Amino acid sequence: MVRILALDLGERRIGIALSDLLGLTAQGLEVIDKKQTPDWLYRLDTLIQEYEVGKIVIGFPRNMDGSVGPKGEASKMVAVKLEERYALPVELWDERLSTAAAQKSLIKADVSRKKRKQVVDQVAAQWILQGYLDANRGK
């Protein structure tokens, strides 16, 4: 098996999660703040090499009716860019309500508001990746 890297793309932050080698579980890895790391692709280069990533999954924001808006179109463009840069398969995965689910789980775990803001994107990437892994288990 290969490790799968998931991205929750935001305007300011990118949450990153990584699968285990068996493709069973997703772990939150980190958050890249685009303000602090404007060329975030170089950080992604390092992570892909360090963890020997074989596939990338990008959260694909859809509207609740299933239509694709501007953020979804932007995700498609990033997917194409990453496929070209890394010569790896890149898949878009429906991320509807992943951030809300991440927020809810952090609140339930009694994580402070300040700390939630720092990790919610990472947890959202983890939710996206776990959903992808669960749906593709056994394929």
Check residue 62 and give its pLDDT. Answer: 78
Query: pTM for this structure?
Result: 0.85
Q: Are 93 and 59 spatial neighbours (Cβ–Cβ below 8 Å)? A: yes
pLDDT surpasses 60 at 61: yes
102-129 per-position pLDDT tens digit: 556 655 655 556 555 566 788 889 989 9
What is the number of helices (H) and of strands (E) in the chain?
A: 4, 5
Lowest mean pLDDT segment, chosen from 3-12, 63-72, 127-136: 63-72
**Per-residue pLDDT tens over the stretch 90-103:** 999 987 655 655 55
Q: What is the pLDDT of residue 114?
A: 59
**Weakest mean pLDDT among 3-12, 51-60, 107-116:** 107-116
Nearest to 90, CA basis, from 48, 125, 54: 54
Kindly list the structural domains of the chain, giving each domain's residue range(s) and its CATH number in brackets, ordered by start.
Answer: 3-136 (3.30.420.140)
Beta bridge partners of 33: 13
